[in-house]
Amino acid sequence: MDPTSGYVNYRNRSDAQKLGLIATQGSEVYIGVDHATKATAAKGRSSVRIESKAQYNGGLFIAKFTHLPKPVCGTWPAFWMYGPDWPNHGEIDIYENWNQPASNAITLHTGPASKVGSCKLSQSDFTDHMTTSNCDNSAAGQYANQGCGVDETSGQWGKSNGGICKFLLYSHPPTGKPMLALLTCYLRCYRMVVRSHQRLELVHCQGAV
């Protein structure tokens, strides 16, 4: 079952190993999706969702991918972080999009401003196009759960030779409230989140590679 309601059949470690969805290849780890079996209406493709047991209040996170899936119909790769009380503790989608996009949808999600405070983006802080400015998941004038985000077109979205993604999460010294700064993000296929006690999650494609 997918807690985010995706059309996918997540498998446990034992099943994933037997199906060849996860494996070690030299010094690298392979995480894939069942691209050989025809999907049915009742159940999506077998895939893998990996989530850290540790939680983080800050740090520099670097992910290196030697291959990223093509942006084709039925895929939903994601690399992200989220807090224990969603969306009030926040979510940061570092690498995510679905189906056939031409760009990486870097997105932030927060709870209502009345509860967690106002969180907004400004186009002047980004070189790529800002799609929405209000990170509040229930913000007026935006789709439900849309959050705020930027379409990253200058990275390596869907590149077969992968890339490196760097993400800095830190707490503001005077207040102790988690703040976030996105560094250069050179790739696509995984998703993250923000606020206190962040948990790292890696989700592979929900369709053909």
> Which residues are identified as catalytic?
91, 96
Task: Write out the E strands in the chain.
Answer: 8-10, 22-25, 28-31, 45-47, 49-56, 59-65, 78-82, 91-96, 104-109, 129-132, 148-152, 163-171, 178-185, 190-191, 198-203
Angle at 79 between CA 76 and CA 120, to 5 degrees: 100
Sign of CA dihedral 151, 149, 145, 91: positive
What is the rounded distance in angstroms from the CA atom of residue 57 to the CA atom of residue 194? 9
Question: How distant is the alpha carbon of residue 79 from its chain centre?
Answer: 3
Whether the CB-CB separation of 95 and 189 falls below 8 Å is answered with yes
What is the rounded distance in angstroms from the CA atom of residue 155 to the CA atom of residue 32? 22
Whether the CB-CB separation of 201 and 93 falls below 8 Å is answered with no
The per-type count for the chain, helices as H runs and strands as E runs, is 2, 15
